[in-house]
Structures are given as C-alpha cells and as structure tokens.
Structure 1
C-alpha cells in the first residue's frame, strides 16, 4: 500500500470535499477500501428506497479510494466506465456501505469491483465493475 488511511482522508478532504456527499472512508488496505453513506431523505427515490445515483456515487468514490491505495495520490485518475447491477432493495433509512477491490492495476488503467450493502443485510444490494484511466507521468 502506497498511502495510509490518514493520508487518503486528508487528500479527499482537501482535493475532493464534495466526495463526502457520497460517503465517508471507513477502512483502507492494499488495493481495497470500504466507505459508508448515512442515508437520509436526499438519497431516497419515490417508493422509499435508496436511489441508484446514491449507490453509484458511493461505489465510484470507494473504488477511487481503492485505486489510490495502489497508485498514490493521483487527482486525475478518472472513471472511464461504470457498470452497476441493482440486486435488491436497500433499507430506506439505514446506512449503505461499499467494499471495493482492485482486480488489475496497470500503467494507464485500473479495473475493480464494488459490492454495496444495506446495513443489517447479508446479501449485497448492488454490484459494480469500473475502469479508471490513470494519467501518464503520475
């Protein structure tokens, strides 16, 4: 692991403060990260479930954290592809959390997957795969 939890947290607070709207960093390891989103009314969609964009945002920022654990603090690593499958309905007023794992990290590209869970449920509510572009000369 190239960076520590504290270094990544400080980087996100300084360089990506809007990312806090998508969740807070909980754990960080070598090529993996966990984040949690406290669900409130702004994250709900009609019908009383967590919205897709809220789950996608959490998944994306969590994979960004996992990638940075491998490549260091690279602000311009950006999502180039995001695929998500919504598997079951999350509990409306319970936090959701995500665990991201990098599957491959190369010189110019990183690929990973994210499982999103509704707190208190054992089965994931969403599964996402993503590709990130890593800038040259990082």
Structure 2
C-alpha cells in the first residue's frame, strides 16, 4: 500500500498534535515498507545507571508504529493503541540515540498491527522489540 503522508508531513503532524514530545523524535527514513525513527536521547530519558529507561523505549515504539500507520492512512489523530508488547533485550548503550525500524504487519479498516526493533545508534543488536495493535476510528 502506498504512503499517503511523507516524513515531513508526519513530523509536522506530530509537532502540531503532540507538542509535548516536540523535538524528541525525528524520522530518519520512510518508504512503503519501513519507517525509521530516532529518539533524541536526553537527560530526561535516562534512569539510574546511565541507561535509557523502559518508558522511553516504549514511547519510541509507540510513536514509531503510530507514525508508520499514519503514513498509510493519513492524519487520523484518534487512532489509538489497543494492545502493546515490549521485550527489553539488552541495555542500550549510554550516550547514544535510539533508532526504531518499524514495519506494518496488517492494516485493516478497524485495526492495524505493527512491529519494531529498537537499536542503540550504531549498534548491531536490537535493545528492544515491540509489537502493537491500534484501533482506527471510522471515517
């Protein structure tokens, strides 16, 4: 399925509809099969021990899959997460941004399912894996 929104329009949508996360996320690339999004890791994302917190990794997965769905269906602000599963695989590397590679597995009229792998920038092994389902409101 072709994308209805490009990276610039997705970032503008995120800034407009979710100003509370403004500047934390950046779309690195977007094509018909994958969206790559970066979490700009700052002090507020860290937990004791100098690693990125689980809630920050969850937020990256949630935002990434949400944006990948919107790329396909257009700017539907009320598409919401209905199910989420995150596996934290290893400790993210301190001082590095996180990169999520996102794919949509199913896109129906009412539900969409996506998955992502999250990496420390420059790292070869994923630090987390997430699978999420979103409810798409009727038009």
TM over 0.5: yes
In structure 2, list runs of 5 or more residues that go unmatched: none
CA–CA separation in structure 1 for the residues paired with 2:24 and 2:127: 16
User: Could you give the per-residue CA deviations for residues 18-69 of structure 1, whole angstroms, max 9, x where no partner exists?
Assistant: 2336522222222531111122221111122110001000110000110011
- Number of matched pairs: 137
Stretch of structure 1 that moved more, 8-17 or 77-86: 8-17
Structure 1-normalised TM-score? 0.92
Give the aligned CA root-mean-square deviation in angstroms: 1.3
Aligned to 1:133: 135
2:69 to 67, 70, 90: 67
1:29-48 matches, within 5 Å, as 29-48=31-50
Whether the aligned pair in 2 keeps the contact of 1:22 and 1:57 (CA below 8 Å) is no
* 1:104 and 2:99 aligned: no
Aligned to 1:9: 11
CA–CA separation in structure 2 for the residues paired with 1:122 and 1:128: 17
Seen in structure 2, the aligned counterparts of structure 1 residues 10 and 21 have a Cα distance that, compared at 3 Å, is closer
In structure 1, list runs of 5 or more residues that go unmatched: none
Whether the aligned pair in 2 keeps the contact of 1:29 and 1:66 (CA below 8 Å) is no
